[in-house]
Structure 1
Amino acid sequence: MAQLDALRTGRIAGARTAEIDQGLRAHMNKVYGTMSVGMLITFAAAWAISGLAVTSDPAQAVGQIGADSYLTSIGAALYTSPLKWVVMFAPLAFVFGFSAGINRMSAATAQLVFYAFAAVMGVSISSIFLVFTGTSIAQTFLVTSIAFASLSLWGYVTNKDLSGMGTFLLMGLVGLIAAMILNIFIQSEGLAMAIPFIGVLIFAGLTAYDTQRIKTEYIAHAQHGDSEWLGKSAIMGALSLYLDFINMFMFLLQFMGNRE
C-alpha cells in the first residue's frame, strides 16, 4: 500500500513538474514576444521622428547639420531647445512610474503602458539616425541581437546561481549612471571612452542575470498558483530584457557606429 501511495505521489509530482515546465515555456515566449514588439515600436518611432526632424529642403530648415541636411522646426525643438532634456529623461521617469504603479494595473493595461514607453524611448533615441549611418545602425543591431540571444540563452540554461553577480552589476549600473551624469558637466575624454565599454559589460551581464531571475521567479510563483502575478510578471520581465537590449545596443553603437 505504501509503495502504491508513493507511486501515486511521484506521478502527481511529475505531472505538476511537467505542467510548470510547459507554463515556463509559455511565460518566456510571452516575455520575448512582448519585448520584441516593444523593440519594433521603438525603432519605428525613432525612424519616423528622425524623418520629421531632418529635411533636405533649405526652405523648410531652421538650422544646417550637414552638406545637404537641415533641421526642421521639429528637429530644432527636440534636439537643440530645452525640450531635449525632457526627451532625454522621459524614459527614465516612465520606468520609475511604471514600476511603482504596475500593482494597480491589470495585465492588459500594463502591456499597453509598456508599448507606450517603447514609443517614448523611440523618440528619445531618434537622434541616432542623424548621427550614425543607417548601415552601421543595422550592423550594430544585428551584433546586439546575436550577443543578447547568446547571453539570454546562457542565463536560462545555466545551473550557476547568478544572484550574486546581479547585485554586483546593479551596483556597477548605479556607478555608471553617476559617471554619465558627471561627464555631462566635466566633459572628460577618457571617461567618455570608458563609459561605453563598461556599459556593454554591465548590460551583457544583466541580460543573463535578468533571464535567470525571470525564470526562477516564475517557478516560485507557479508552484503557488499565483496567476494574477504571473501575467504582470511577463510584462515586467519584457521590460527588464528590453532595457538590457536597448542599453547594450546604444553602448555598442559608440564603438561600431560610423558617423554621418
Structure 2
Amino acid sequence: MDFNSQQYYQSASLGTESLGRYTAKTFGWMFSGLLTTFIISIATYISGAFMLVFTIPYAYLILAGLELAVVVYLSARIEKLSVGGARALFFAYAVLNGIVFSSLFLVYQVTVLIWVFAATSLFFGIMAVLGYTTNADFSRLRPFMTAGLIFLVVFWLLAMFIDLGQFETIMCTFGIFLFLVFTAYDTQKIRAYHAYYSGRADMAAKASIFSALQLYLDFINLFLYLLRFLGKKNN
C-alpha cells in the first residue's frame, strides 16, 4: 500500500471513526505486538526453552526466514486477507520475534535492556508525535529511506564474512537516524490510510494492522541499533 503526497492531506469524508480514535487503535495494536514479544522472550528465556530452540542447526536462519515470510505475505495479501487473518499474522510475527529476542538476555544485562528500551520509547515517541503533527511531507524522503535500508542490508551481509567491526559504530548511528525517519514517515501514513479507506471499514481495519506492523518494525529496529550503540555486553 502506498500513497502520493497529496493523499496524505486529502480532506475526504472520514466515516464514523475519528482520526484520533483510528490512530490510537493503530498504536494500540503496535504496543500489543511489543507486549507479546516481551512476554514470549521472557518466558522463553526463564523456561530455558531458548536453549532447545537454538540447538537446532540454523535456527536463527529458520526463524529469520519465517519472520520475513510473514511480513512479505502480509504486505502482499493485505487486501485479500480477512481482518482476523491480518491480526493473526501480526501476532505470529511478534511471537517469532519474541523467541529470537530471548537470546538477548544472554548477551546483555536486564538493566541495560530496560534502559535502552526506555530510550527507544522516548525517541520513538518524539518522532511519532512529529510525524503525526507536522505538515512536512516525509514521503519525499522515501528514496533516501529505501537506499538506506539496502545499504544496511549489504553492510550486515558483508559483516558475516568480513571483519567490518571498525565501521559498526558508524553504521549503528546511521541505522538509528534512518529508523527515526521511518517512525515519522510511518506515523504520517496513518492519516493517509484513514482518509483513503474512508467508508471501507474492513480495509481501514486491515490498514491499521499493517501500519501497526510497520511501526512495530521501526521500534524494534531502533531498539536493536540503540542497543548495539549504547549497550554493554556481558563478559
TM-score after normalising by structure 1: 0.79
The alignment status of 1:122 with 2:69, answered yes or no, reads no
Match of 1:258 in 2: 232
Task: Report the alpha carbon displacement of residue 207 of structure 1 after superposing the two structures with TM.
Answer: 0.1
- Residue by residue over 1:93-147, the C-alpha shift from the partner in whole angstroms, topping out at 9 and shown as x without a partner, is 2211222232221112211221111000111222111100000100000010011
Equivalent position to 2:39, from 38, 44, 48: 44
Greater relative contact order (Cα < 8 A, sep 6+):
2
- Residue by residue over 1:144-163, the C-alpha shift from the partner in whole angstroms, topping out at 9 and shown as x without a partner, is 00111110000000011111
Task: Report the alpha carbon displacement of residue 192 of structure 1 after superposing the two structures with TM.
Answer: 2.5
CA RMSD after TM alignment = 2.1
Match of 1:174 in 2: 150
Larger Rg: 1
- Consecutive unaligned residues of structure 2, counting only runs of 5 or more, are 1-10
- Residue by residue over 1:212-243, the C-alpha shift from the partner in whole angstroms, topping out at 9 and shown as x without a partner, is 12212322332xx2222101000000000000
Q: Distance in 2 between matches of 1:76 and 1:25?
A: 42
Higher alpha-carbon deviation: 41-50 or 128-137: 41-50
1:24 maps to a residue whose letter is L
Residue aligned with 1:186, SS: coil
CA gap of 1:117–1:217, structure 2 versus 1, over 3 A, is same
Q: Distance in 2 between matches of 1:93 and 1:111?
A: 15
Residue 152 of structure 1 contacts residue 211 of structure 1 at CA under 8 Å; is this kept in 2?
Answer: yes
Q: Distance in 2 between matches of 1:87 and 1:53?
A: 18
Higher alpha-carbon deviation: 96-105 or 207-216: 96-105
Residue 53 of structure 1 contacts residue 76 of structure 1 at CA under 8 Å; is this kept in 2?
Answer: no
Residue aligned with 1:105, SS: coil
Residue aligned with 1:77, SS: coil
Higher alpha-carbon deviation: 228-237 or 163-172: 163-172
Residue aligned with 2:18, SS: helix
1:1-260 mapped onto 2 (5 Å cutoff):
23-53=18-48, 73-74=51-52, 76-77=54-55, 81-222=57-198, 225-260=199-234
Identity %: 31
The count of corresponding residues between Structure 1 and Structure 2 is: 224
Residue 52 of structure 1 contacts residue 74 of structure 1 at CA under 8 Å; is this kept in 2?
Answer: no
- Consecutive unaligned residues of structure 1, counting only runs of 5 or more, are 1-13, 55-71
Q: Distance in 1 between matches of 2:137 and 2:103?
A: 39
TM-score after normalising by structure 2: 0.87
Residue 98 of structure 1 contacts residue 113 of structure 1 at CA under 8 Å; is this kept in 2?
Answer: yes
1:207 maps to a residue whose letter is T
Q: Distance in 2 between matches of 1:211 and 1:241?
A: 7
